[in-house]
Amino acid sequence: MKHFKFIPTLLLAVTILLVTSCKKEETQEITIERGTVTDIDGNTYQTVKIGDQWWMAENLRVSRFNDGTPLLLIGLTDPDSVWANAGEAAYTYINDSIFGNLYNGEVITSEKNIAPAGWHVPSDAEWQKMERTIGMDEADIAGAGWRGMNEGEKITSKYSQGWPEGGELFGTDEYGFNALPGGCRLHDGRTNIFNNTSFWWTNDFTEDEGWYRYIDKNDKRIFRQHTYRQYGMSIRCIKD
C-alpha cells in the first residue's frame, strides 16, 4: 500500500514543478513595443523599445541632414580614392540600399543632425546600455574586440534572414532590433559587398577616429572598437 500512496504524491510534485516552470517561462517573455519615425526624405522606419531606450529597427537611409543640407553621394563606380579623400559629409550604399546607407565619420561629427528630429546617433554609452539590457555581462561591457556570449544573435534578424547561409550567427531577434548585413566601406574606399557583416557608428569620436559596433555572420557576439573616420558604416538612431 505504501507503494501506491507514493505514486500520486510523486505525480503531484511533478505537476507542481511543471506548472512552476511554465510560470517562470511566461514571466521571461519579452514584450516588444514598436513605433515609427520619418526622416526628412520621407523614409519611414520601424522603431522598437529596448529597455527604456527607443531605437530604430532599420538602418538609416536618408540623403540629407535634417535641416535639408544634402550629403555628398559617392557611388561604388567612383574611384576608391574619391571616398578615401572625401573631406566632407558623404555617404554611399551597396545592394541598392536595401540595408540602408553607409556614412563616413564627417556625417557623425557635423554640427548638423543626420537623424530625424527628436532622434540622434547613439553614443558608445547608449550602445553599452542596450547591450546590458539584452544580457551582456557587466565585465564585458567596456571591453574592446569581441564581447559577450550570444548578444549578436539576440539583435540579428529572425533566423538570420537576409544573411548568407553558414557561419555561427543564427538570429533570434528577441528584442526587435532586426540587424541586417549593411556591410561597410573601408577607409581606403574598398567595399564589403558580401552581405556578411553589419557595422554601426556611435557618436563618440576623437579627432581622427570613432567608436563603432560590428556583427559578423561567423560570430554570435558583438564587436566594439574604434577606427578611422573615413570608414563608411550604417547608423541606427536612438530617440532623444
Looking at the fold, whether 114 and 10 belong to one and the same domain comes out as no
Looking at the fold, whether 3 and 109 belong to one and the same domain comes out as no
Looking at the fold, whether 127 and 42 belong to one and the same domain comes out as yes
Looking at the fold, whether 130 and 204 belong to one and the same domain comes out as yes
Q: With b meaning 16 or more CB within 10 Å and e meaning fewer, what string describes 102-116?
A: bbbbbbbbeeebbbb
Looking at the fold, whether 87 and 167 belong to one and the same domain comes out as yes
Phi and psi at 5, nearest 5°, equal -70, -30
Looking at the fold, whether 93 and 44 belong to one and the same domain comes out as yes
Average pLDDT on 151-160 reads 97
Average pLDDT on 193-211 reads 94
Looking at the fold, whether 115 and 151 belong to one and the same domain comes out as yes
Residue 72 has pLDDT above 50, yes or no: yes
Looking at the fold, whether 11 and 50 belong to one and the same domain comes out as no
Looking at the fold, whether 20 and 137 belong to one and the same domain comes out as no
Residue 216 has pLDDT above 90, yes or no: yes
Write down the pLDDT at residue 28: 56
Looking at the fold, whether 101 and 18 belong to one and the same domain comes out as no
% of residues, the chain, pLDDT over 70: 88
Write down the pLDDT at residue 192: 84
Residue 38 has pLDDT above 60, yes or no: yes
Average pLDDT on 27-48 reads 90
Q: Confidence class of residue 23 from pLDDT cuts 50, 70 and 90?
A: very low
Looking at the fold, whether 84 and 102 belong to one and the same domain comes out as yes
This model's pTM is above 0.85: yes
Residue 70 has pLDDT above 50, yes or no: yes
Residue 14 has pLDDT above 50, yes or no: no
Query: Measured between alpha carbons, how far is 202 from 166 in angstroms, rounded to an integer?
Result: 29
Name the domain count of the chain. 2
Domain of residue 189 covers 33-239
**Can you say whether the dihedral through the CA atoms of 142, 148, 151, 156 is positive or negative?**
positive
Q: Confidence class of residue 29 from pLDDT cuts 50, 70 and 90?
A: low
Nearest to 102 by CA among 227, 238, 217, 235: 235
Looking at the fold, whether 124 and 17 belong to one and the same domain comes out as no
Which is higher by pLDDT, 9 or 75? Answer: 75
